[in-house]
Amino acid sequence: MKILTAAQTREADAYTIQQEPVSSLDLMERAAAALVAWLRQRYSAQVPFVFFCGPGNNGGDGLAAARLLFQAGYEVQVFLVEEAGQCKSQDFTQNLQRLPSEISTHTLQAGFGFPEMEFGAIVVDALFGSGLSRPLQGVYAQVAEEINQAGVTVVAVDVPSGLFTDAPTPEDAVVVQATYTVTFERPKLAFLLPKSGAWVGEWHAVPIGLHPEFLQQVATPYQLLTNAYVKSLLKARQKYAHKGTYGHALLIGGSYGKMGALVLAAKAALRAGIGLLTVQIPQVGYSIVQTAVPEAMALTDAHELHFTRFMGQPETYECIGIGPGLGQAEDTRLALENLFRQHLPPLVLDADALNLLAADRTLLRTLPQDTILTPHLKEFERLAGPATDDFHRLQLLQSFCQEHRCYVVLKGAHSCVGTPTGDFYFNTTGNPGMATGGSGDVLTGILTALRAQGHSALETCLLGVYLHGLAGDLAAKEMGQASLIASDLTTYLGKAFLALEAS
Ligand SMILES: NC(=O)C1=CN([C@@H]2O[C@H](COP(=O)(O)OP(=O)(O)OC[C@H]3O[C@@H](n4cnc5c(N)ncnc54)[C@H](OP(=O)(O)O)[C@@H]3O)[C@@H](O)[C@H]2O)[C@H](O)CC1
Ligand SMILES: [K+]
């Protein structure tokens, strides 16, 4: 699903208005109705609502929604927030005229006294949306600050007021802290990024019937993974298959004190459908692996404690995953250097393999084409340098993938897959319970297994992050986020496959 910029959203509006055709006032009515349907599903008519409406179409949405909610029997109060002399949008003015006189309406200007709020009231933030052109100041900043200090549930209309959707919001800017953001048609790019996403709370995208033709033709490098799309990437298992049909993968990793990481990756690879799995481990890991993962074959390194030399034949494997528990010894770096000189099957690199690459730019330059790298934010910073903000990090991701002709799974709340073509795919599954040691090792195992089964690098990344997150969501549903540990992700991987197939 494409993610649109604010400018593209305006174009989508204009196209819809012209081609459907529908008046802009009716389009606003549709947006307001979609918001009200969401509110009514969540809150009973006993819950009072307080609307704060700005001067543009976001405020107009607020006014239309206040009217519809009032007509549905809810108690509604409206505060119009305005800087003296500020122009109002036409649709705002029309909706103000349509507001039933029974709704208590007040204007807040500079120096206002912030209203007392009834206990349990829900604040609807309709100050500004995608038309924000500068940080909040004056009365708008004051109202936003008061809302943030009121300790109430805040539902932001389309965008939390003060948040820029396609550019960094300055560090010191005032932004409404939303509990929920009900956004129209598509989430905005800022919602998916770690810093700006924190203002958004839990977001829900509600359709408002923007013209499908426009959505189909509009070009964007930003995509959101949908269930339907990821499902289309699944391959059915064949009746006459044998273990050779589903690839032979190799995982290289584990070192003294870090064999668990390799075991986690190996178990996940097996649950991700691999036909055959071999692991290469230092001697210290031999009995650990043979006991913990009897399904895997083991190659032992010449070294007792860590990886120093690839012991197999590259052509035996359809994919090699390197990194979980690897360690960063100098002879491990040399072993990677030697390995990269060979003709290799596709690679998945994680953890210490990434740290070794980051510390040795020459090694990085020899990275085989189409390698999948799976850094978290800190590892990515080591690889590509520090980012000044979320949007700068996306630029770094794009140029890194293009320069090294690789795929990067940048792990986080909405893990982002960067591609050599300069595209970005944001994941939609997963939860904060997955921020736990070993979660990344499980992902490496899944990706290595999918790649070895013949998926392209892109398909592997998309299917892998989605299934990994879905397994986390299914696990968290039964055991809660706090108690979730990495092995649970592997336990629930089968259910994630089933859920995706059945969706
Ligand atoms: N397709 C859709 O998604 C639809 C969305 N709708 C809603 O429309 C808004 C966007 O409306 P728009 O009027 O473009 O923008 P805003 O309401 O966010 O505000 C714009 C006005 O405010 C001025 N402005 C901008 N920043 C500030 C600021 N910091 N302080 C004061 N004033 C500011 C701006 O004027 P400037 O010329 O000064 O920039 C505008 O006057 C979208 O978010 C949805 O809620 C439609 O209802 C339906 C379709
Ligand atoms: K808003």
Cα 36 from chain centroid (whole Å): 26
Q: Is 31 in the pocket of ligand 1 (CB under 6 A)?
A: yes
In 3D, which of 61, 55, 52 has the Cα closest to residue 13?
A: 61
In 3D, which of 414, 416, 418, 377 has the Cα closest to residue 399?
A: 418
Question: Which residues are paired to 224 by β-bridges?
Answer: 426
Q: What is the pLDDT of residue 447?
A: 98
Instruction: Give me the tens of pLDDT residue by residue for the chain, a chain 503 residues long.
Output: 999 999 999 999 999 999 999 999 999 999 999 999 999 999 999 999 999 999 999 999 999 999 999 999 999 999 999 998 899 999 999 999 999 999 999 999 888 888 889 889 999 999 999 999 999 999 999 999 999 999 999 999 999 999 999 999 999 999 999 999 999 999 999 999 999 999 999 999 999 999 999 999 999 999 999 999 999 999 988 888 787 789 999 999 999 999 999 999 999 999 999 999 999 999 999 999 999 999 999 999 999 999 999 999 999 999 999 999 999 999 999 999 999 999 999 999 999 999 999 999 999 999 999 999 999 999 999 999 999 999 999 999 999 999 999 999 999 999 999 999 999 999 999 999 999 999 999 999 999 999 999 999 999 999 999 999 999 999 999 999 999 999 999 999 999 999 999 99
Ligand located closest to 180 CA: 2
**209 Rama class: left (phi>0) / alpha (psi -120 to 50) / beta:** left
CA-CA-CA-CA torsion sign (291, 293, 298, 302) = negative
Q: What is the pLDDT of residue 238?
A: 86
> Are the C-beta atoms of residues 307 and 326 closer than 8 Å to each other?
yes
CA-CA-CA-CA torsion sign (448, 454, 459, 464) = negative
In 3D, which of 28, 48, 3, 187 has the Cα closest to residue 93?
A: 28
Alpha carbon of 469 to ligand 1 centroid (Å): 35
Q: Is 182 in the pocket of ligand 1 (CB under 6 A)?
A: no
Q: Is 9 in the pocket of ligand 1 (CB under 6 A)?
A: yes
Identify the H or E element spanning 462.
helix 457-479
Alpha carbon of 215 to ligand 1 centroid (Å): 21
Q: What is the pLDDT of residue 341?
A: 94
Q: What is the pLDDT of residue 112?
A: 82
Residues 6 or more apart whose Cβ sits within 8 Å of residue 502: none
d(C-alpha 468, C-alpha 268), whole Å: 10
Q: Residue 258 is which amino acid? A: K
Ligand located closest to 132 CA: 1
| pTM score | 0.96
Residue-range domains of the chain with CATH: 6-220 (3.40.50.10260), 245-502 (3.40.1190.20)
d(C-alpha 70, C-alpha 72), whole Å: 5
ipTM over 0.85: yes
Q: Is 158 in the pocket of ligand 1 (CB under 6 A)?
A: yes
